[in-house]
Structure 1
């Protein structure tokens, strides 16, 4: 960490989430002589910087880290954070904060639960760690055509530390998976059948779970790289462009209010799917598709008590990890025929609390979630003001978002399917599933989408370089051009790997 901004670097990275970290990691491995500066608007809330807050053993320290991640007005919005999901209230998950204004336009559905995190590590300090691979139409066809997509996904799994055996000893995981498989596997290919969820989590020798955050993505290659510096509480307000090329960034020290210019040959904007297009807009970089094709995943949730549940002897797992590790995390993959992605997990492993667990039989209640793929529409977009400002002094945003007729049909299908799957596992706690307020998934995508050609429907190339601005890259879920139902982090990190390799090529050609 350093408080002093350099006058110039080879690469400036805006945002410290997993995709920004992926650029730092790949460049540290493949271009170790390159100087890299990473800027994050939020504070450092964990040790090492960027670590997942679940790894903080002390609950008070963990809660403090979450609060510090909740933006410029965290204390004012604390009464809208957390809680059991029982109604359509606008509530943010711990570690996140809501978009106060502009989340819904009259006559549209909007994204009332649209939220952000501002901290070193970004949303990866608070996520579930689910890393499924995309399937069927979720995949990016023009990357499949070149044969690189699966290799990039494998690199993403390496950087995130993805495993499938972290909950291998969970006593009731085979029971849950078996019941789900009996209900869902018919007619599916082998890779589409019910299986363990790939997770960015590993188990230490002492038995404790360690959840991956940006610290894992950075790894030793970046942490030990003397040419890499991370600057927290640093707001990038503008990307500098000269003669059609990225030339650096303007950054404000949040603590002092002082503004600085940092020159760079490559600039990577990896803020998030709402703040990345915001920075480009503020910088006068406004391709036709910027902010458009915004898509989220409607989220349906349901809780059941496992049928014929028998508590395990003792609960050593909870003592070591903070979780009642009975049922693990199970994945029901997306298919074009069933256009939703499913995950089933222990209540205390879920970021959305669906019910109170049974104190007499901890671990007997599991939550089911189905995420629905969105019908992509250019009219679904984030719009930026030329006059009004947000809490950071950046252009205020307004979200235009409407569910199509097909979206409503998919949601109704998902509601019926989640009840069917839930009843296969056990006894429902409620008569009906609950549709989370739109935006609650936090899986916003499409606003800086990639495309095979510069035809006005994409913001960047297949290697994440912004059309018309050499050396400027965008990263994060916003780059994903397809409609997905699966958790998007693995895909966005995979795309960042390709972008980082292109950045390395630029640095090599300039030297």
Structure 2
């Protein structure tokens, strides 16, 4: 609520996802007197600001029960209308053949309230387009891992971890492919080492969320359920942000808030939306839209593998009737094969909660393993997100908060189409130009699955081509003013591109330029 809000803030941050929280943390830690105002359109859904909701004991003991939390958290942004049916909040101009699965998490903490952050160190090939000098970028990445609390050995006590790692290592080592641990943002609880405290916005801010200035005033203030409608530019001089228009969603009242510095950190889609609504429309804004394709399956671990644990059957000592030699509270296996030129996929062998699948109650979850393969997509300028205030029928084209609704335009490249011609297309449910991604990635995922066990009947190998949670590059940073919407210091370019706004910075996954 904005009632009684004082105006003595130096920094205004739109959005509360991890990158917005990182801006706040850096400012609060290194500028001892600065006061930060953070504005979030979503509600605070936990007693601890921005906590990962998966930290609840209930969800750690019953991981699949968390799936409904994820489904409730993600908000569709652009839904193509059904034939002959015109409901509200549907995107009438959205071509379903050019759409992607587009959802955002609008809550205090953003996706960090339900996401498990896998904080990988990019391969050099993945940093080709990065405008920041390589060694400097590596230091920034290390700082990010520190803020997100990413240890390397939290899951080493998991019996299944060692089992899966050994089986995969035996299979892939002769091919020169290394199998390692997934660097996840979270650590085991000091009070109970069978529980994990997953990182979130609260992890990044730490105790700085309660810091006070010399006058005893709180240096950090969060406004939840308040919408940043737009940034207001100062006509004299041009290229300077004067204020942000904020609407209290509870009361409907609006207020212009002035600050010394403004940061847009609302996620890939909503940061673009805010910039567009503010009239900050550089020609690269929204273009070069990319992400990753995703293969997924679940396997039941092979009995011969599980039997290898029998000689150290700690579980049998506590329950002789349990013939599975895995502790009931054994930590989930978290194993991966990282991207490399010879293995152009990022892979995960683990267990987690998903919005699109659950194991169910008919099988012991200790013997189920999730397998996910991710593949890069080729970047092209024509793939983009567009915004209009009206659709082709002249009706308001807005989302549930009255902001311009996005329309997605995404196609695979001609190069992908040519690659697809080399294979016998036996799978008719996949578009021809998507098939090349499907073939190699799915083939290698199936090979890995066969090493570990048999497919769970409810989740055989399937292909998820357009996965929005990895959307990137719509507000990309770079040195070329013609192809980047912000410079390498994340300062937002003016529409002409020859200068940057004096007081406006940006932070979201959309800043990643990609290769």
Shared fold (TM-score, shorter chain, > 0.5): yes
The alpha-carbon deviation at position 6 of structure 1 amounts to 3.1
Q: Helix, strand or coil: the match of 1:305? A: strand
- In structure 2, the CA distance between the partners of 1:402 and 1:466, relative to structure 1 (3 Å rule), is same
Taking structure 1 as the reference length, the TM-score comes to 0.81
State the SS of the aligned residue for 2:41: coil
Aligned to 1:380: 383
* Cα distance change, pair 106–97 in 1 and its aligned pair in 2 (3 A): closer
- Secondary structure class of the residue paired with 1:471: strand
Shift in alpha-carbon separation, 1:230–1:41, aligned structure 2, 3 A: same
C-alpha contact 1:383 1:399 (8 A) present in aligned 2: yes
1:402 to 411, 423, 429: 411
Residue 240 of structure 1: SS of its match in structure 2?
A: strand
Question: Which residue in the other structure is 1:472 paired with?
Answer: 504
- Residue 364 in 1 paired to residue 367 in 2? yes
Structure 2 partner of 1:459:
485
Give the total of aligned pairs.
Answer: 446
CA-to-aligned-CA distance 1:31-65 (integer Å, 9 cap, x gap)? 121121000000100121100001123569x99x9
Give the root-mean-square deviation of aligned CA atoms. 2.8
SS of 2:10's partner is strand
Alignment of 1:84-233 (within 5 A): 93-101=71-79, 105-106=94-95, 108-111=97-100, 113-143=101-131, 145=133, 147-186=135-174, 188=176, 193-206=178-191, 207=193, 208-225=195-212, 226-233=218-225
Picking from 276, 282, 293, the partner of 1:281 is 276
TM-score by length of 2: 0.80
Distance across 2 between alignment mates of 1:186 and 1:474: 45
1:239: which partner in 2? 231
CA 1:94–1:370 in structure 2 vs 1: closer, same or farther (change >3 Å)? farther
User: Offset of 1:269 from its aligned partner?
Assistant: 0.4
Gaps of 5+ in 2: 81-90, 213-217, 319-326, 391-396, 417-433, 494-499
CA separation of 1:360 and 1:38: change in aligned 2, threshold 3 A? closer
* Distance across 2 between alignment mates of 1:107 and 1:13: 34
- Secondary structure of the 2:469 match is coil
> Structure 1's 98 and 107: CA in aligned 2 closer, same or farther, altered over 3 A?
closer
Kept in 2, the 8 Å contact 1:32–1:227? The answer is no
In the other structure, the counterpart of 1:329 is 334
- Would the alpha carbon gap of residues 429 and 465 (structure 1) be closer, same or farther in structure 2, given more than 3 Å must change? same
Residues 383-415 of structure 1: CA distance to partner in whole angstroms, max 9, x if unpaired? Answer: 001322111111111011112242542332100
Q: Which runs of 5+ in 1 are unaligned?
A: 67-80, 84-91, 317-321, 484-511
Pair 1:435 & 2:463 matched: yes
